């Protein structure tokens, strides 16, 4: 960067490009707060608050260097900020925004920032993949080697690439919360108050409408807060991250997760500094390898893989619907109406989304996504819901995670089999089933667990496809052995598709 000479006087920062690595030396910065983005869709209020708060915190830091526009659209904002002058921007994070900047002759697009692997390097890796099969595990090893991450010479630290088997512990039986220090909590300031007053005013005037509750802000809105949150995580919570990575407790929404995804996706943190901090803790003997490897796998593996696949698969990927699922999202789900739901796991998770716009990856995948998949909800609508309701949701991260990973709508390009499971999995990995009105082992009758019944119904519905997949063929064989399948299917037919479980 230091050697580059720019002719353009202006440099544009999108709202998810807020860290120092997105700046360009000696340029006037342009930032545009587009109202139409909020008007178009019904976002979670905490997400709208976080995004605007982070943008305004950045503008306050940049002071005289920034032209900060509140405009109806980006087009309008750009014209008002720079007129016909030339402007640079780092590669945006969505297909729509990439198209927009490409269509404007006055905008020159610089390489992306905020990720470890350049798209060209990913394409080279993908083209060299054995038999054209892309596997996250292979990509992850490539990243570890290429970035000398958690390596001892040319071998993985500790001799193993993957410590996942150490990272699947159920939660402790005798506790409501993990014995782990609470996550970092930012302190709100006058900028947060101002954003909240704006949201109130726009809502009162009927200009925008939100779902969910907002406040207090739980996620970093400035670089200083994000650095503090990273330090606190590495010091206090990383040591137990691996062990309980997949576990859930009704009374512990954060468990031992980092809760840094929103800061990373706003560009406040760079992934390199996150994985380097984790590796440093391991080398200093402050965090065990299973936790550090687990965390590095998430950031340098999964996050990079999803980002690069977004571009590699292209914009039509969002239309994937291999299972032919077309059911609309029920109203109670769209409204985050946790009280309408009897199933304790789903009600608890929906309430957590309503209150914070965040839950960790297992509730996302095995409670919310699993339910949507079992009920055959339209994958594009499910993707839109996740995008709007999660503080860390952006187009690039939603498509591959929801269309691919969670809804199997791409027919297996990301995961080898659908992530669908019955109540037993949830019962093993959480304390949610005990007081529930349903029983995880029952699939028919009054107390039938909707997840267990939904699992068999799903396997039955897609038996042809699943029986041809070596990873799911066993489930079809099990289906053929259950004696009360007709009753399960009869109960499913009786159920109002919109009724909350």
The CA distance from 269 to 77, in Å, is: 26
306 binds, among ligand FAD, ligand SF4, none (CB under 5 to 8 A by kind): ligand FAD
300 binds, among ligand FAD, ligand SF4, none (CB under 5 to 8 A by kind): none
Gyration radius (Cα) of the chain, Å: 23
Site for ligand SF4 in 342-361 (CB under 6 A): 343-345
- The dihedrals phi and psi of 194, each to the nearest 5 degrees, come to -65, -45
Helix (H, G, I), strand (E, B) or coil at 378: coil
Nearer to ligand FAD, 349 or 401 (CB): 401
The CA distance from 10 to 25, in Å, is: 10
Burial of 398 by CB count in 10 Å (0-12 exposed, 13-18 middle, 19+ buried)?
buried
344 binds, among ligand SF4, ligand FAD, none (CB under 5 to 8 A by kind): ligand SF4
Our CA angle for 417, 420, 424, nearest 5°, is 130
The CA distance from 164 to 148, in Å, is: 20
45 binds, among ligand FAD, ligand SF4, none (CB under 5 to 8 A by kind): none
Nearer to ligand FAD, 82 or 398 (CB): 398
- What is the nearest approach in angstroms of ligand SF4 to the Cβ of residue 284? 40
Q: Which of the stretches 53-61, 213-221, 339-347, 466-474 binds ligand SF4 when contact is defined by CB under 6 A?
A: 339-347
Nearer to ligand FAD, 344 or 388 (CB): 388
**Packed helices 473-481 and 450-461: angle between N→C axes, nearest 10 degrees:** 110
Q: Which of the stretches 128-136, 295-303, 314-322, 338-346 binds ligand SF4 when contact is defined by CB under 6 A?
A: 338-346
- What is the nearest approach in angstroms of ligand FAD to the Cβ of residue 297? 8
- What is the nearest approach in angstroms of ligand FAD to the Cβ of residue 318? 14
Joined together, the tokens standing for residue 411 give 């027919």
343 binds, among ligand FAD, ligand SF4, none (CB under 5 to 8 A by kind): ligand SF4
Helix (H, G, I), strand (E, B) or coil at 488: helix
Nearer to ligand SF4, 210 or 333 (CB): 333
186 binds, among ligand SF4, ligand FAD, none (CB under 5 to 8 A by kind): none
- The dihedrals phi and psi of 30, each to the nearest 5 degrees, come to -115, 130
- What is the nearest approach in angstroms of ligand FAD to the Cβ of residue 253? 11
Contact 274, 230 (CB under 8 A): yes
Nearest to 318 by CA among 374, 250, 386: 386
Joined together, the tokens standing for residue 81 give 């900020």
- The dihedrals phi and psi of 463, each to the nearest 5 degrees, come to -60, -35
265 binds, among ligand SF4, ligand FAD, none (CB under 5 to 8 A by kind): ligand FAD
Ranges of H-type helices in 63-206: 74-82, 95-103, 119-128, 136-146, 190-204
The CA distance from 27 to 322, in Å, is: 47
259 binds, among ligand FAD, ligand SF4, none (CB under 5 to 8 A by kind): ligand FAD
Joined together, the tokens standing for residue 168 give 């699947």
Burial of 117 by CB count in 10 Å (0-12 exposed, 13-18 middle, 19+ buried)?
buried
- What is the nearest approach in angstroms of ligand SF4 to the Cβ of residue 487? 17
Which residues bind to ligand FAD, rule: CB under 6 A?
257-261, 264-265, 295, 298-299, 302-303, 306, 360-361, 364-365, 369, 386, 390, 392-393, 397-398, 401-402, 405-406
320 Cβ partners below 8 Å, 6+ apart?
A: 379, 403, 404, 409, 410, 411
The CA distance from 395 to 318, in Å, is: 10
- What is the nearest approach in angstroms of ligand FAD to the Cβ of residue 382? 8
Hey, which residues does 448 pair with through a beta bridge?
Answer: 439
345 binds, among ligand FAD, ligand SF4, none (CB under 5 to 8 A by kind): ligand SF4
Taking CB under 6 A as the rule, which mask of x and - marks residues 402-431 in contact with ligand SF4?
Answer: ---------------------x--xx----
78 binds ligand SF4 (CB under 6 A): no
389 binds ligand SF4 (CB under 6 A): no
299 binds, among ligand FAD, ligand SF4, none (CB under 5 to 8 A by kind): ligand FAD
Nearer to ligand SF4, 377 or 451 (CB): 451
31 Cβ partners below 8 Å, 6+ apart?
A: 12, 13, 15, 55, 58, 59, 66, 67, 68, 69
500 binds ligand SF4 (CB under 6 A): no
- What is the nearest approach in angstroms of ligand FAD to the Cβ of residue 112? 15
451 binds ligand SF4 (CB under 6 A): yes
The CA distance from 468 to 358, in Å, is: 36
- What is the nearest approach in angstroms of ligand FAD to the Cβ of residue 383? 9
29 binds ligand SF4 (CB under 6 A): no
Nearer to ligand SF4, 28 or 452 (CB): 452
Contact 66, 29 (CB under 8 A): yes
The CA distance from 54 to 229, in Å, is: 15
436 binds, among ligand FAD, ligand SF4, none (CB under 5 to 8 A by kind): ligand SF4
Nearer to ligand SF4, 258 or 349 (CB): 349
User: Residue numbers of the site for ligand SF4 (CB under 6 A)?
Assistant: 343-345, 423, 426-427, 432-433, 436, 438-440, 449-451
């Amino acid at each position: 960067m230091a050697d580059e000479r720019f002719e353009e006087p202006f440099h544009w920062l999108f709202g998810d490009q807020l860290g120092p690595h997105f700046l360009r030396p000696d340029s006037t910065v342009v930032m545009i707060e587009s109202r139409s983005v909020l008007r178009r869709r019904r976002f979670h209020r905490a997400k709208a608050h976080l995004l605007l708060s982070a943008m305004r915190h950045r503008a306050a830091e940049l002071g005289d260097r920034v032209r900060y526009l509140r405009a109806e659209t980006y087009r309008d904002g750009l014209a008002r900020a720079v007129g016909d002058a030339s402007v640079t921007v780092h590669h945006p994070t969505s297909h729509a925004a990439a198209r927009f900047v490409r269509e404007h002759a006055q905008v020159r697009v610089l390489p992306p920032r905020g990720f470890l692997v350049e798209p060209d390097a990913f394409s080279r890796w993908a083209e060299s993949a054995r038999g054209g099969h892309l596997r996250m595990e292979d990509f992850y090893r490539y990243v570890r080697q290429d970035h000398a991450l958690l390596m001892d010479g040319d071998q993985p630290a500790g001799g193993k690439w993957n410590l996942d088997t150490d990272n699947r512990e159920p939660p402790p039986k005798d506790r409501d919360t993990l014995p782990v220090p609470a996550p970092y909590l930012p302190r709100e300031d006058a900028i947060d108050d101002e954003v909240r007053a704006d949201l109130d005013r726009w809502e009162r005037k009927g200009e925008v409408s939100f779902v969910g509750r907002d406040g207090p802000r739980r996620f970093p809105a400035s670089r200083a807060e994000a650095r503090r949150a990273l330090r606190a995580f590495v010091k206090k919570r990383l040591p137990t991250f691996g062990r309980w990575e997949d576990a859930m407790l009704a009374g512990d929404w954060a468990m031992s997760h980092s809760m840094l995804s929103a800061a990373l996706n706003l560009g406040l943190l760079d992934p390199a500094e996150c994985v380097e901090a984790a590796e440093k803790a391991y080398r200093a003997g402050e965090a065990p390898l299973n936790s550090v490897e687990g965390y590095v796998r998430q950031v340098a593996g999964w996050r990079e893989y999803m980002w690069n696949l977004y571009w590699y698969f292209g914009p039509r990927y969002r239309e994937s619907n291999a299972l032919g699922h077309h059911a609309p999202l029920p109203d109670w789900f769209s409204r985050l109406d946790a009280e309408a739901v009897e199933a304790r796991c789903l009600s608890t998770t929906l309430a957590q989304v309503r209150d914070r716009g965040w839950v960790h990856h297992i509730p996302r995948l095995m409670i919310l996504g699993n339910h949507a998949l079992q009920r055959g909800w339209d994958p594009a609508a499910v993707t839109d819901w996740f995008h709007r309701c999660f503080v860390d949701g952006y187009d690039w991260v939603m498509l591959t995670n929801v269309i691919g990973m969670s809804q199997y709508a791409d027919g297996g390009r990301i995961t080898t089999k659908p992530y669908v499971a019955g109540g037993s999995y949830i019962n093993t990995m959480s304390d949610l089933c005990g007081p529930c009105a349903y029983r995880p082992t029952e699939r028919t009758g009054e107390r039938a667990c909707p997840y267990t019944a939904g699992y068999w119904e799903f396997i039955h519905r897609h038996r042809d496809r699943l029986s041809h997949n070596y990873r799911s063929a066993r489930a079809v064989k099990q289906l053929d052995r259950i004696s009360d399948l007709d009753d399960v299917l009869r109960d499913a037919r009786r159920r109002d598709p919109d009724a909350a479980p």
